[in-house]
Amino acid sequence: IDIGGQDSKVIQLGSSGQVVDFAMNDKCAAGTGRFLQVMATALGLEVSELGNVEDPNKLLAVSSMCTVFAESEIVGLLARGNPKEGIIAGLHQS
């Protein structure tokens, strides 16, 4: 499994190390470093801060896997006064 900044790849190897299957998500940044970077910016944080700020007890669902829609969802959650800690917990769960 390779989750990079712009895409995600999964390579399945056989018992002798040969490639058996390969899948790549190159059409959307969902679940990649770019997704986390956009979410951190929307929250006014650095990416490095996302791991230390969550509060699972305040978890707010973030249902969008698309970077653009998730960013819009986060902006709405913030506008309604929801805590960043709960939003970040939701991002981690998504």
pTM over 0.75: no
| Check whether domain 28-93 has CATH 3.40.50.1820, yes or no | no
Residue 11 has pLDDT above 90, yes or no: yes
Could you tell me which residue, 59 or 80, shows the higher pLDDT?
80
Domain boundaries, the chain: 28-93
Q: Picking from 27-31, 57-61, 69-73, which range would have the lowest pLDDT averaged per residue?
A: 27-31
Q: How confident is the model at residue 12 (pLDDT cuts 50, 70, 90)?
A: very high
Pairwise CA distance, residues 47 & 41, whole Å: 8
Helix 84-93 and helix 67-79: axis angle, to 10°? 150
For the chain, the residue count is 94
Region class of 53: left (phi > 0), else alpha (psi between -120 and 50), else beta: alpha
